[in-house]
């Protein structure tokens, strides 16, 4: 049984060395190169998160300006329109 473990030990150390060696830097370089070649979003696509934030801020502000006394009247005006 010890002989079986002894024969498997070099395989395990080679696999460990392969995955934990400095040769993986070339893989990182390839990922950086692929990211550099990626298509950049247009200005309109990049502005979408900003517009979501602006709309959220306006909604929050409008919601906080309503109080319990005039909220019912506002709802009735919205239903009529």
State residue 69's pLDDT score.
64
User: b/e map of 10-47 (b: 16 or more CB within 10 Å)?
Assistant: eeeeeeeeeeeeeeeeeeeeeeeeeeeeeeeeeeeeee
Domain parsing of the chain, residue ranges: 42-81
Q: What is the pLDDT of residues 47-71, one digit of tens each?
A: 999 999 999 999 999 888 877 666 6
Residues 6+ apart with CB under 8 A from 22: none
Q: What is the pLDDT of residues 4-26, one digit of tens each?
A: 555 555 555 555 555 555 555 67
Q: Is the pTM of this model over 0.75?
A: no
Q: Is residue 74 within 8 Å of 66, Cβ to Cβ?
A: yes
What residue ranges in 1-81 does DSSP mark as E strands? none
Q: How far apart are CA 12 and CA 62, in angstroms?
A: 63
State residue 46's pLDDT score.
92
């Amino acid at each position: 049984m010890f002989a079986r473990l002894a024969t498997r030990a070099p395989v395990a150390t080679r696999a460990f060395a392969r995955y934990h060696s400095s040769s993986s830097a070339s893989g990182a370089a390839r990922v950086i190169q692929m990211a550099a070649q990626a298509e950049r979003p247009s200005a309109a696509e990049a502005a979408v998160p900003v517009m979501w934030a602006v709309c959220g801020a306006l909604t929050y502000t409008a919601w906080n300006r309503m109080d319990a006394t005039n909220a019912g009247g506002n709802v009735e005006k919205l239903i009529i329109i």
